[in-house]
A and B are shown apart, each in its own frame.
Chain A
Amino acid sequence: MDIKLMISIFPSLLSGAVITLQLLVSSMFFGLIIGLIFAILRINKNPIINKFAYGYSYFFRGTPLLVQLYLIYYGLANIEFLRNSFFWVIIKEPYWCAIIAFSLNTGAYTSEILRSAFQTIKKGYIEAAQSLGVTKKITFYRIQLPIAIKQSLPAYGNEIILMLKGTSLASVITIMDLMGEARKVNVLTFKPFEAFITAGIIYLFITFIIHNIIKYLEKKYGFQT
């Protein structure tokens, strides 16, 4: 092990980590919105809407993230119509393709997490609201949604960490994130252990921080039934 090399490559790996974090934050943000929409569609009683939302989450949870990434990065560019449209500005950039793929993927998992949280809310809360004459809309926004979000915190924390690991795939479509920088170091120096172990340490550190933030939030806002 070449400790000197590990220290010297640290700054460039950190600059990659910034890209990783950017990818993570933006895909988590879009993913949360997508997940929330699809969770609401999932608990809808209309069978068509319901099935559609189920199909979405089934597809994105049943196929590897790499397939989804390739489908969006290489596949979408194949469609003539998209290439001539305004969307081309977005999908020609690997960075945006990665964000689209990651958001759709994490959106599927998030929708499942939120759905199960919605379904475990005790019926009594909703009945109590009904008997007090609270309208359905307010019941949803003020009672069901906050409880569901609080209940899904631990599972959502896991999802964030899974997504952090997922962002490493961005390196295969030429984005220089933490993994991409580590690969570059490996290619330039032929020292795979130093390059990947240093990257691993940074990944572990980010995981550790996310884990602790979620733990803190759980303690503060956690919901006990």
Chain B
Amino acid sequence: MELLSFGDTGWGDELFFATLMTIAVSIAAMAIGFIFALIFTPLKLSKNKTLNVIGNCYTTIIRGVPELLVIYLLFFGGTGAAMYVASIFGYDGYIEINAFITGALAIGIISGAYSTEVFRGAILSIDKGQFEASKVLGIKKYIQFYKIILPQMLRLSIPNLSNVWQITLKDTSLISVTGLVEIMRQSYIAAGSTRDPLFFYSVAAVLYLMLTFLSMKLINKLEIKYSKGY
């Protein structure tokens, strides 16, 4: 237990901040994923063939390759790509992209693919009559989307989004390979310097379990709150 004390002798404070980092990366990734999902869901549902193919390619490719591959691609390739883009604009220096941004973006792209599928399923399960009714009432397309479809879609997708959140939370452990100090990386460092991997990885497992448990409780509350009136 001494190993977990706060301060210079223990790893308690380090692990605490690492946990905060994991939460921060997960939330950032989830938010980025939402943006991706909001872009790609309409594409997947679109009647236009080309747009449809683009939407399907995104979800199929991202869900078909390992998460680690996406992270490596962005981590090793991201710097090169950013420098290439910068060189077009006349900047030739070295650019290093922050590990947090790369990690959040990589996990965000992955979680976005899952969120897209969730949103698509939710929209498809909304009664067709509602689209027709709003059309008959002369409601504009974008107002129909924001005022009628979006609120229902979000409510319907809460249970499945909770799964996506769990996946995202667990995927953030993979960012540790790029050097961002979150739970996994911190335990790796602690295990290396104390030569007690069993203990520190068990702590990491407990921290992750706590995070998943707490977020499940929170999401269940949300679910009950938003299913009122149904």
Q: Using A71-B201, A78-B198, A161-B64 as known contacts, say yes or no to A192 and B209 having CB atoms under 8 A apart.
A: no
Q: Report chain A residues within 8 Å CB of B64.
A: 161, 203-204, 207-208
Q: Which of B152-173 contact A (CB under 8 A)?
A: 166, 170-173
Q: Which of A196-211 contact B (CB under 8 A)?
A: 196-197, 199-200, 203-204, 207-208
Interface residue from A66, A78, A167, A171 paired with B197 (Cβ < 8 Å): A78
Beta-carbon contact of A71 and B76 below 8 Å: no
- Output the least CB separation between B201 and chain A (Å): 4
Asked if A124 CB lies within 8 Å of chain B CBs, one says no
Beta-carbon contact of A71 and B69 below 8 Å: no
Interface residue from B60, B69, B77 paired with A199 (Cβ < 8 Å): B69
Q: How far is the CA of A77 from the CA of B195 in the complex (A)?
A: 11
Q: Using A75-B201, A207-B64 as known contacts, say yes or no to A66 and B76 having CB atoms under 8 A apart.
A: no
Interface residue from A68, A79, A165, A196 paired with B198 (Cβ < 8 Å): A79
Q: Using A62-B213, A161-B64, A182-B69 as known contacts, say yes or no to A193 and B77 having CB atoms under 8 A apart.
A: yes
Q: How far is the CA of A200 from the CA of B71 in the complex (A)?
A: 12
Q: Using A192-B72, A196-B72 as known contacts, say yes or no to A66 and B184 having CB atoms under 8 A apart.
A: yes
Give the number of residues in A that approach B within 8 Å (Cβ atoms). Answer: 40
Main secondary structure of the interface of B (DSSP, over half): helix
Beta-carbon contact of A169 and B72 below 8 Å: no
Interface residue from B67, B73, B172 paired with A192 (Cβ < 8 Å): B73
Q: How far is the CA of A208 from the CA of B64 in the complex (A)?
A: 8
Beta-carbon contact of A59 and B202 below 8 Å: no
Beta-carbon contact of B80 and A67 below 8 Å: no
Q: Which of A98-143 contact B (CB under 8 A)?
A: none
Asked if B131 CB lies within 8 Å of chain A CBs, one says no
Question: Quick one: CB contact mask for B51-80 with A, threshold 8 Å, 1 for yes?
Answer: 000000000110111111100110011001
Asked if A65 CB lies within 8 Å of chain B CBs, one says yes
For chain B, the bracket of interface size reads: 35 or more
Beta-carbon contact of A67 and B73 below 8 Å: no
Asked if A186 CB lies within 8 Å of chain B CBs, one says yes
Asked if A179 CB lies within 8 Å of chain B CBs, one says yes
Q: Using A70-B201, A78-B196 as known contacts, say yes or no to A203 and B208 having CB atoms under 8 A apart.
A: no
Q: List 19 A-B contacts (CB under 8 A).
A: A59-B205, A63-B212, A67-B201, A68-B205, A70-B188, A70-B204, A71-B201, A74-B197, A75-B197, A78-B198, A168-B67, A169-B174, A179-B68, A193-B73, A200-B65, A203-B64, A204-B64, A207-B64, A208-B64
Q: Which residues of B contact A (CB under 8 A)?
A: 60-61, 63-69, 72-73, 76-77, 80, 166, 170-174, 176-177, 184, 187-188, 191, 195-198, 201-202, 204-205, 208-209, 212-213
